[in-house]
Amino acid sequence: MRERTNVLVVGDYPPPYGGLSVQVSVLRGLLDASGRHRCRVLDIGESRRERRPECLPARTSIELAARLLRYAAAQWVIHLHTSGHNRKSWLAALACATAGLLNGRKTALSLGSGQAPDWIRQSRGAMRWVVRLTLGLTGTIICRNERSRAAIATLGVPGRKIAVVSGFYGLGPAVDPTLPDAVETFLREHSPVVGAVASIGPEYEEAARDLGAGYGQTLWNVVLPILLPGIIAVALFGFTLSYDEFPRTLIPIGSRNTLPLEIWAMTTNVTSPALYALGTLTTAVSFVVIAVALTSIALIQRRRTRRGTPADAGD
């Protein structure tokens, strides 16, 4: 029987669910299911300080280095999955590549962000040296597209070390990903599910700060454009659902009825034409807000195209 390969996967591990953490979780599942690998995960994400049976914690930089050296000395293959578009990402990659010297450079580095090639090309000074050294010490480099391959090759990395794997690990027709228990419970108790809101990862803000943006610039040029569609959607839902909040409006009511109470009174007595007029006005306001939102998105996309900025950083 063929001996299994020991693999230490290093990266963000859920929770929270999304982006790199989901990819690391899927990668671990694929390696375990193959029967040819023995896999452990070293969590360096938001939950890295928590003790969990499914992964190893890395509460401090010293603990991270100690675990990397321990597993590398035991001849485990180290596989780091990271974004590749900020300082933290490449410092972690350098630590993994350096530890890999103990196991014959059996270190794999996979870059999961479409912003990585631009960051690599724009890196200067000490960080460019860190990127070049990391890529030189790494045994195998996995990137998402040809742009990433070309950016890595400009630093003198041999083509035989670079592999292109598009999209997310294993999320295809052959894989049936399972949902977390909390999500399954929510879907069973809430049907139908109209929509969901997810938080953005900190890597976008970190990349903006690495490029010299201040807090205000990051909020205005990065965070707000990403959250704008969700803000508009939540505002529309909240505006529509507020008509049905007559129990809560009983608390602040004064000498006059609130709008939800007035609507409730209209529906319990003889229907007034004002009710239909109100519905028409609400629909018109909603369509106007949607039109303004779509127009704003189109203008933003046109401005990005004019400036030569990719509309989809993940491509």
CA–CA distance, 288 with 206 (Å, rounded to integer): 35
CA–CA distance, 309 with 211 (Å, rounded to integer): 15
**Rounded average pLDDT over 26-50:** 89
Do residues 141 and 152 lie in contact, with contact meaning Cβ atoms separated by under 8 Å?
yes
Q: With left for phi above 0 and alpha for psi between -120 and 50, is residue 156 left, alpha or beta?
A: left
Q: What percent of the chain has pLDDT over 70?
A: 81
Tokens of 26: 């899927």
CA–CA distance, 207 with 179 (Å, rounded to integer): 30
Residue 232 contacts by C-beta under 8 Å, 6 or more apart in sequence? Answer: 289, 290, 293
40 beta partners: 8
- pLDDT tens per residue across span 60-96: 999 999 999 999 999 999 999 999 988 999 999 999 9
37 beta partners: 5
Quick one: which H or E segment has residue 141? Answer: strand 140-143
**Mean pLDDT, the chain, integer:** 81
- pLDDT tens per residue across span 195-234: 555 566 666 777 777 777 888 888 888 888 888 777 877 8
CA–CA distance, 86 with 88 (Å, rounded to integer): 6
Specify the pTM: 0.59
Q: What does the pLDDT read at residue 220? A: 86
Q: How many CA atoms lie within 13 A of 309 on its CB side?
A: 9
- CATH numbers and ranges of domains, the chain: 5-177 (3.40.50.2000), 182-307 (no CATH)
Which of the 8 DSSP states describes residue 1?
-
CA neighbor of 90 nearest in space, from 57, 124, 41, 54: 124
Question: To 10 degrees, what angle do helices 273-307 and 259-268 make?
Answer: 130
Instruction: Report in angstroms the alpha-carbon separations of 233 from 151, 262, 291, 297.
Output: 38, 26, 12, 13
6 beta partners: 38
Residue type at 201 in one-letter notation: G
CA neighbor of 169 nearest in space, from 15, 33, 78: 33
Q: What percent of the chain has pLDDT over 90?
A: 30
Query: Strand, coil or helix: what is 295?
Result: helix
